[in-house]
Amino acid sequence: MHDSTPRPINDNDLHALADGRLAPQHAQALRERLGAEDTERLAAWELQRERLRTLHAGMAQEPLPEPLRSTAARLQERQDRQTLLWRWGGMAASVLLAFGLGWTLHGQWPPGHTGSATPLASAQRFAQQAAVAHAVYQPEQRHPVEVAAAQQEHLVQWLSKRLGRSLTLPVLTAQGFELVGGRLLPGENGARAQFMYQNAAGQRITLYLGALDGADTGETAFRLHADGPVPAFYWLDQGFGYALSGPLAREALLALATAVHQQL
């Protein structure tokens, strides 16, 4: 049997009524149900709201202060980046996303292309995958890594075995970043590793590395990949590709990439 008894009026109802957020019919029906106490509270809130509007009426015509405009711009940029991340598959499909993107880009050659990708094209695709992997995992609070920094020795041994090379874990304490941990990821040429670092402000950067076709050319020049969800500096060295990704200014990210390269 359907119960038609109206639910009790609460503070949310009164606030919505005082702020004018209800449709006219709904507002009128709600006012008719108000008791003496609720009517008195509503009148006090409406009076307070009107006085505040009068007191600060001139502010509506003033331009926004620069600090507020800058903060709003940063928040919008963060929201846009998060929206892009969800458009690329969301957190639930993160591993498949990082793996599948490479093959999607691999198949986007012009008709008639029969040769293998050039070393530069492979490196660019590698950098794109690094940026996507960063965007997938850096927002995570509870599970940003598979193995935490507290198990650093195990982390290095495990990933070294899976990637088939003795890995060196860069230390970025002098640059203000501490190791969070790392994880294993799939790649076009086998396993890849991701190491995550974080500074005191909560900013995170990730180092993405693994075997890469054409990475044995002896070239170690840094290149900037800026078309992904975050910028990444990438380079090739002795059969491996490396990419450092993070939402930092170009100069700051380059300085960190240089520090990583020197240690590797």
Dump pLDDT digits (tens) for 209-252: 998 876 565 556 789 988 888 999 999 888 889 999 999 999 99
Same domain, 150 and 218: yes
Q: In what order do the strands lie in the sheet with 204-211?
A: 147-148, 177-187, 190-199, 204-211, 240-245, 232-237, 223-225
| pLDDT higher than 50, residue 179 | yes
Say what the pLDDT of residue 163 is. 93
Q: How many residues does the chain have?
A: 264
- For residue 4, is it within any domain? no
- For residue 239, is it within any domain? yes
Say what the pLDDT of residue 60 is. 60
Please count the other Cβ atoms lying within 10 Å of the Cβ belonging to residue 31.
Answer: 13
pTM: 0.57
Say what the pLDDT of residue 91 is. 42
Give the pLDDT band (50/70/90) at residue 83: low
| pLDDT higher than 70, residue 114 | no
Say what the pLDDT of residue 135 is. 92
Q: How far apart are CA 95 and CA 263, in angstroms?
A: 28
Q: How far apart are CA 249 and CA 246, in angstroms?
A: 9
- For residue 113, is it within any domain? no
Read off the CATH number of the domain in which 215 is found: 3.30.200.100
Same domain, 162 and 211: yes
Q: Identify which has the larger pLDDT, 103 or 153.
A: 153
Same domain, 29 and 134: no
**pLDDT, the chain, mean:** 80
Give the Cα-Cα-Cα angle 24, 26, 30 (nearest 5 degrees): 115
| pLDDT higher than 50, residue 115 | no
- For residue 16, is it within any domain? yes
Same domain, 39 and 124: no
In the chain, how many domains are there?
A: 2
* Averaged pLDDT, 126-147: 91
CB 193 within 8 A of CB 240: no
- For residue 198, is it within any domain? yes
CB 159 within 8 A of CB 167: yes
Supply φ then ψ for residue 92, to 5 degrees: -65, -30
Q: What is the dihedral of CA 15, 19, 57, 54, to 10 degrees?
A: -70
CB 222 within 8 A of CB 233: yes
Residue 179's SS3 state is: strand
Q: At what angle do helices 94-106 and 119-137 cross, to 10 degrees?
A: 160
- For residue 135, is it within any domain? yes
Q: What domain range is 166 assigned to?
A: 71-105+120-263
Same domain, 28 and 90: no
Same domain, 45 and 142: no
Say what the pLDDT of residue 58 is. 66
Same domain, 246 and 149: yes
What's the Cα-to-Cα distance from 59 to each of 53, 140, 198, rounded to whole Å? Answer: 10, 39, 40
- For residue 154, is it within any domain? yes
- For residue 5, is it within any domain? no
Same domain, 33 and 100: no
Same domain, 206 and 188: yes
Q: How far apart are CA 234 and CA 125, in angstroms?
A: 11
Same domain, 238 and 128: yes
Same domain, 32 and 142: no
* Averaged pLDDT, 166-189: 92
Same domain, 75 and 142: yes
Say what the pLDDT of residue 78 is. 66
| Percentage of the chain modeled with pLDDT above 70 | 75
Give the pLDDT band (50/70/90) at residue 34: confident
